[in-house]
A and B are shown apart, each in its own frame.
Chain A
Amino acid sequence: AQKVTQAQTEISVVEKEDVTLDCVYETRDTTYYLFWYKQPPSGELVFLIRRNSFDEQNEISGRYSWNFQKSTSSFNFTITASQVVDSAVYFCALSEDNTNAGKSTFGDGTTLTVKP
């Protein structure tokens, strides 16, 4: 069975601080996909990134970066120079089904609050 653990329930930082959201996963499959989604107060989950299990390259997108390490089964997300607009709930998710990636196992989410 697959499992996603986001150990940090809530994080609070001051604007311009860097913050890392942790994600640890469990799966017996060798092929799988990892995702991060953002849920702002409006409620709609927004896709941020997808990684497949064969691509361990780290990725940077503006102030966002992701560190995927298969050796530790982790897929951590770092926001550099955080802003108030980054305040949201962030979900890490795992899918073992390439043709049906909406069928994912989600972590419990990390609520990030960025204070001005």
Chain B
Amino acid sequence: DVKVTQSSRYLVKRTGEKVFLECVQDMDHENMFWYRQDPGLGLRLIYFSYDVKMKEKGDIPEGYSVSREKKERFSLILESASTNQTSMYLCASSGPGGENTEAFFGQGTRLTVV
């Protein structure tokens, strides 16, 4: 069974803390993504990576950075957490295209910044 695993289901952090959200996939996928999900706003793409050490900004990258040192792992970093970053964060991965074009998602991390 293919898997995208996010390290935490729930996190509570203080304003100003540096926060790491970890995501691991076991499908040998090249592409990995971080989305943020907020009520009424759907999913919005923060960053994505199509290869190790490669990253591209999505639609809302401000306040975030990412790291991809290994193919299977993609980390989202909140350099200095703020209350407006309280949200559900979803990691996803996808294969090389063609018949394998759907994304596989993790279970989500609900982050609360207080």
A binding-site residues for B, Cβ under 8 Å = 4, 9, 33, 35, 37, 42-47, 50, 91, 93, 95, 98-104, 106-109
Contact = CB atoms under 8 A, between A and B. Distances in A.
Contacts of A42: 107
Contacts of A9: 40
Given A106-B42, A108-B41, A98 B92 contact: no
Contacts, number: 69
B9 to A, nearest CB: 8
10 contacts: A9-B40, A35-B102, A45-B103, A46-B105, A102-B33, A102-B48, A102-B92, A102-B93, A102-B103, A108-B41
Contact of A100 (B31, B88, B104): B31
Interface of B: 9, 31-33, 35, 40-45, 48, 50, 58, 88, 90, 92-94, 96-98, 101-108, 110
